[in-house]
């Protein structure tokens, strides 16, 4: 049995392993693809924010506002799965929607800061800004931790008892081609940043965890 980082094994053994979505019927591969697209969309938005110089107040505010729109869109793409009958899908989706919402709030706080900075005419106008900056940073870090938790559960959502030996082994519910396609999607959807995520975005770090989890030497049990 592959040893998967995080809480994967615990989740697999304590939650229903299979199930169809309430209102959304997709394969295990399709669900994981949806999550990868959402993480990639969030990563691209945050990378754009980080790339904009803080000295360019208008440009930074525009990037922050665009980031909010993209993060909200990513969250909405996962919302249908928050009522999924597969408990792992449900948990992962709820966690990611919550995390993306926290990032949106963090970005909104930063927009407010730049608006205050742009209109400041004295030091008194800038009072309390450090506290808000700290709060925004903490919220982003907490959201990133939630994304890591969700990443393990996303992998768990595609794990089933191995039909050949269900009492002793588990397997990924997909073909070798499905697995290869997901790994390729993870590697290409983040512009190669998964090779080294030091100082990178929370979504990319979560995606790297998924890359490591899915990339292990799993038994495979293709869906019928």
What tens digit of pLDDT does each residue of 109-148 get?
999 888 887 666 666 656 667 788 899 999 999 999 999 9
* Residue 21 binned pLDDT confidence (cut-offs 50, 70, 90): very low
Q: Considering only CA atoms, which of 42, 41, 35 is closest in space to residue 155?
A: 35
Q: Considering only CA atoms, which of 152, 145, 138 is closest in space to residue 203?
A: 145
120 or 149, higher pLDDT: 149
DSSP secondary structure code for residue 22 in this structure: S
pLDDT over 70 (residue 12)? no
pLDDT over 70 (residue 15)? no
pLDDT over 50 (residue 4)? no
pTM reported for the whole predicted model: 0.87
pLDDT tens-digit readout, 66-122: 999 999 999 999 999 999 999 999 999 999 999 999 999 999 999 988 888 766 666
Contact 29, 178 (CB under 8 A): yes
How far is Cα 197 from Cα 195, in angstroms, rounded to an integer?
7
% of the chain at pLDDT higher than 90? 68
Contact 184, 33 (CB under 8 A): no
Residue 1: what pLDDT? Answer: 44
């Amino acid at each position: 049995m592959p040893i998967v980082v995080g809480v994967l094994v615990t989740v697999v053994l304590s939650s229903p392993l299979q199930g169809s979505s309430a209102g959304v019927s997709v394969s295990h591969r399709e669900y994981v693809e949806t999550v990868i697209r959402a993480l990639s969309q969030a990563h691209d938005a945050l990378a754009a924010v980080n790339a904009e110089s803080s000295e360019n107040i208008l440009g930074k505010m525009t990037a922050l506002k665009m980031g909010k729109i993209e993060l909200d869109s990513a969250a909405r793409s996962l919302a249908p799965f928050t009522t999924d009958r597969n408990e792992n899908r449900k948990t992962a989706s709820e966690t990611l929607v919550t995390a993306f919402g926290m990032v949106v709030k963090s970005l909104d706080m930063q927009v407010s800061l730049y608006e205050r900075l742009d209109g400041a005419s004295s030091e008194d106008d800038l009072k309390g800004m450090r506290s808000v900056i700290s709060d925004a940073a903490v919220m982003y870090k907490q959201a990133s931790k939630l994304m890591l938790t969700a990443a393990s559960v996303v992998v768990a959502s595609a794990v089933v008892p191995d039909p050949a030996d269900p009492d002793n082994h588990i397997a990924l519910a997909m073909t070798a081609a499905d697995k290869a396609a997901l790994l390729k999607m993870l590697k290409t959807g983040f512009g190669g940043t998964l090779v080294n995520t030091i100082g990178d975005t929370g979504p990319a770090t979560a995606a790297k965890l998924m890359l490591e989890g899915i990339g292990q030497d799993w038994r495979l049990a293709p869906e019928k």
